[in-house]
Structure 1
Amino acid sequence: MNRLGSKFVPLLNRRQALELAGAVSLGLTSICLAEENSPATNEKPLEIIDTNIHLFRWPFRRLPLDETVKLVKKLRQFNITQAWAGSYEGLLHRDLSSVNRRLQQQCAEFPELIPIGTINPTLPGWQRDLEDCKTKLNMPGIRLYPNFHHYTLNDSFVSELLQRAESHELFVQIAISMEDGRTQHRSLQVQDVNVSPLPELLGQFPNLPVQLLNAKLPAALIAQLAKLPNLFLDISRVDGSTGIPQLAEVFPLNRILYGSHAPFLIPEATLIRVHESDQFDNSELQAIYAVNVAAMLKASRS
């Protein structure tokens, strides 16, 4: 499953990240990422694994990077050597077998992309879809959208779903939100997923790695979730230059993973937030960017 790219570029420091943001806003097509007047070094630059991207079209508007070729080109600019890709089609389509097959076929064209299958446990045949993700499509994990698919984490079939994922050695990603409620289409208002059932639910599956995507939670709830050793978070909705260090104060750093929520958000937005904090050394950055992913994948095979 480890399909890492071979192209590396130096990682941005804080000044370069801010300059990059300005360059992107001006629509520049060529950006120099090398630090000016810095001595040559033999240190290997940090690799980045993005655990939260999507392919194909966001249902409600066009996004600048919603073509896979353009998105992968952008990821490569920032040394993102692997990206876990769900499918926007999985939000509203009912034939998820076809959705997952198209996703797998698209990801096969790019060595960086790892397909993550969509499962909707309210549809008939979801058990077969889940099994196919592992046995036919060779996917390492599945992605759930409880709010779009109209169920809660309290529903009884969720336990069965997690049990089946654990037996197939699949990790589970739960998208807590996809879009700020203030910008949602009036015909489809979707609330953030209520995560309060997770402590009791995940207590039944201590060996199943579960990652929350796009979660924006109060510190008290994050501290409660921190007690679950198999729960991981991404940082796509963490706000401000101090947000990620503050998250690491209440949630273990070794279970915080990089995720950009691209192409809904531009990939550099999360990178800038990480580097603006200026509070992580290289080993901590590498943990967030890649090392912690290995721990999550190891847990899914234990």
Structure 2
Amino acid sequence: MSMFKDQTVWVTGASSGIGEALSLALARQGARLILSGRKVAELERVATACGGGNRHTILPFDTTDYPALPGIVADAWDRAGGIDVLVNNAGVSQRSLALETSLDVYRTLLEVDLYAPIALSQLVLPRMVARGGGRFITIASVAGKIGAPMRSGYSAAKHGLYGYFDAIRAETAAQGIKVHMVAPGSVKTNVSRNALTANGSTRGTSDEAIEHGMPVAQAVRQMLDGIARGKRDILVAQGRERLAVTMRRFWPEKAFDLIADAVAKGYAQNMRVNR
């Protein structure tokens, strides 16, 4: 029997990419879903694909609309009679050099990728504790484990998620709260096309690593397998990205030099080529 059967799972960023694929997989496991994002038509499409008639609910909102969040959380909680699992997935990536990036872009990245999931989790957490337990699944990134060129603001935000949720795990484990951090590497989605550039515009093109990345369904299977096995830190990466995380942990000086060497040999320039 699936660990998610008849559990209410709230997924942010559910209208595309990892969020969509994760929602479909959870629905197949028997979960009741609350699907959130900003695009109503896309959420409706995902809800239909998940099946189950009225079993799944769409709840569109902007994760950075902080004044509205208390009411949104109350609405989600009341509709479902409680939330068993919160999946913090909504986010935006970056493709720009730090030397060229506007401070406003950093502010946007930190708001969307760090402060927004913290704000939502801070509202859900006390309700879960009062109910006797719950589960947080947060989609971070390999860029949250090692500083990734062209993603300085994105890396900062994803590193921050690890700090916050590691602390939450320690503080609330005895109160029934479980925390899973997921670090995907390159997964074949629209993450690069939707990434912010130095001036805050949407990039609009993908890159080679993403186009040759792990299929999203495979990435989701690895995530759910790790969660089912009780893993609290789940790396979903392959090849050089997986090696980079290992090197950052055990041989950091070598990892720093190899990444800097890649930049010196044209990594940033290659990233700017439209594909």
TM-score range relative to shorter protein: 0.3 to 0.5
**TM-score, normalized by length of structure 2?**
0.37
**TM-score, normalized by length of structure 1?**
0.34
Structure with more helix by fraction: 2
